Chains A and B, each alone.
Chain A
Amino acid sequence: DAKTTQPNSMESNEEEPVHLPCNHSTISGTDYIHWYRQLPSQGPEYVIHGLTSNVNNRMASLAIAEDRKSSTLILHRATLRDAAVYYCILRDVGSNQFYFGTGTSLTVIP
């Protein structure tokens, strides 16, 4: 059911930007792109979402390719607290369900 492809793991140095890629080549016109992250021993938490335009919030930025077949989550300055598994998910508005893949495990190096 997972319709997205992400690298299994990535590393970043503290206070440097991080770009987490996601491929979703089978995205439909009404699918929203959501990003969640899961810290150790916690439930996933919402990060950001978008449809076609790039989006910014206090946590991150989301860059969506023009053809919408890929997107990138951007953490502008990684901190140790950003170490988590990041999930890129397509939101099926019709069924209101999320299908999680295995996500990208981000390690932040001090």
Chain B
Amino acid sequence: EAGVAQSPRYKIIEKRQSVAFWCNPISGHATLYWYQQILGQGPKLLIQFQNNGVVDDSQLPKDRFSAERLKGVDSTLKIQPAKLEDSAVYLCASSPWEGTNYGYTFGSGTRLTVV
């Protein structure tokens, strides 16, 4: 089975610019997650989708971050405007459905550098 696809792999932008990341989960996986991983730290959950609805976005800085999963399949995470502290790896993960004990499958991530 194909894994979780993410693009781009790397992105360098200047502060105050905008950027978007794309994720295509494993086919049939209803739940999709975006995580932020700052260098030297574990991943931090930003937002969780169940199909095309948001389950939890309590850790998402909504003044500058937004995410959508319009058709319940692929998803986009946007940052506008970017700050220096947004430099991190942005990971997308998916799992079959909520309320189960299935594990997550992660993509390879997008490494963002804000200069």
Contact = CB atoms under 8 A, between A and B. Distances in A.
A43 interface: yes
A36 B106 CA distance: 10
Interface string B93-111: 1010011110111111100
Contact of B45 (A44, A98, A101, A103): A98
Given A43-B93, A43-B106, A96 B48 contact: yes
A97 B101 contact: no
Interface residues of A, number: 24
B14 interface: no
Contact of A43 (B56, B101, B107): B107
Contacts of B67: none
Contacts of A15: none
B61 interface: no
A44 B56 contact: no
Nearest to B104: A98
Nearest to B93: A43
Contacts of A93: 99-101
Given A43-B91, A100-B44, A101-B42, A95 B56 contact: yes
Contacts of A49: 101, 103
Nearest to B97: A96
Nearest to A48: B103
13 contacts: A36-B104, A42-B109, A43-B93, A43-B108, A44-B91, A49-B101, A87-B42, A91-B101, A96-B31, A98-B104, A100-B43, A101-B42, A102-B41
Interface of B: 4, 31, 33, 35, 40-45, 48, 55-56, 91, 93, 95, 98-101, 103-109
